[in-house]
Amino acid sequence: MGKRYYCDYCEKTMVAAPAIVRTHNNGIVHQKLVQEHYQQFKDPETILLEESSKRPCSRFANGTCQFGNICRYSHYNREQLDALRRYVESKNFNKSILTQPSFEELYNKLQNEKSLQTEQNDGNTVAVDKNGITHVFPWTYNPIFDSYGDNLPPSIKRLKIEDFENASITEWG
């Protein structure tokens, strides 16, 4: 017995001669089944684009169109096309709302928030001495600790310029 060819779309087995396979693949029944198979994977936008460019099928309206999905004419009526159009529009509208911001937008937003925080924390991180020199601390103070007054340990006390005026550092480390 010779080699056999199995068509997944038609679920038929035939002799694997090139002429027989070619004839089968060019047949209307095979093309109709292939089209029906791939129709289930099409997105609504593609279906709307294809079907809205076709004229309505008069045979399908009578219930006698034998071509199915390979018909040159549309098998969708006006109400179905309108419903599909509304669905595509709502889907695209929701997609436009949920778009992710670009990296540049995120970076600019972060920089704006950072500059606002710096303006708000200037009282916590900046000190001006008697000579008018501005000193910027590389840390920020938690304003909650101000309510404790001078009862805090030196490591978390708010530093003032006066604390450094008469400091004599003789030893490091």
**Tokens in use for 65?**
């169109």
CA dist 7 and 24 (Å) reads 9
Q: How confident is the model at residue 100 (pLDDT cuts 50, 70, 90)?
A: confident
**CB distance 67 to 28 below 8 Å:** yes
The DSSP 8-state label assigned to residue 22 in this structure reads H
b/e map 27-50, b = 16+ CB within 10 Å: eeebbbbbeeeeeeeeeeeeebee
The DSSP 8-state label assigned to residue 159 in this structure reads P
CA dist 29 and 23 (Å) reads 11
Q: How confident is the model at residue 160 (pLDDT cuts 50, 70, 90)?
A: confident
Cα end-to-end span (Å), the chain: 94
What tens digit of pLDDT does each residue of 115-148 get?
Answer: 666 555 445 567 777 777 777 777 777 778 878 8
The DSSP 8-state label assigned to residue 8 in this structure reads T
Q: Angle at which helices 28-39 and 18-26 pack, to 10 degrees?
A: 60
What tens digit of pLDDT does each residue of 3-32 get?
Answer: 999 999 999 999 999 999 999 999 988 998
Output the pLDDT for position 123: 52
Output the pLDDT for position 25: 94
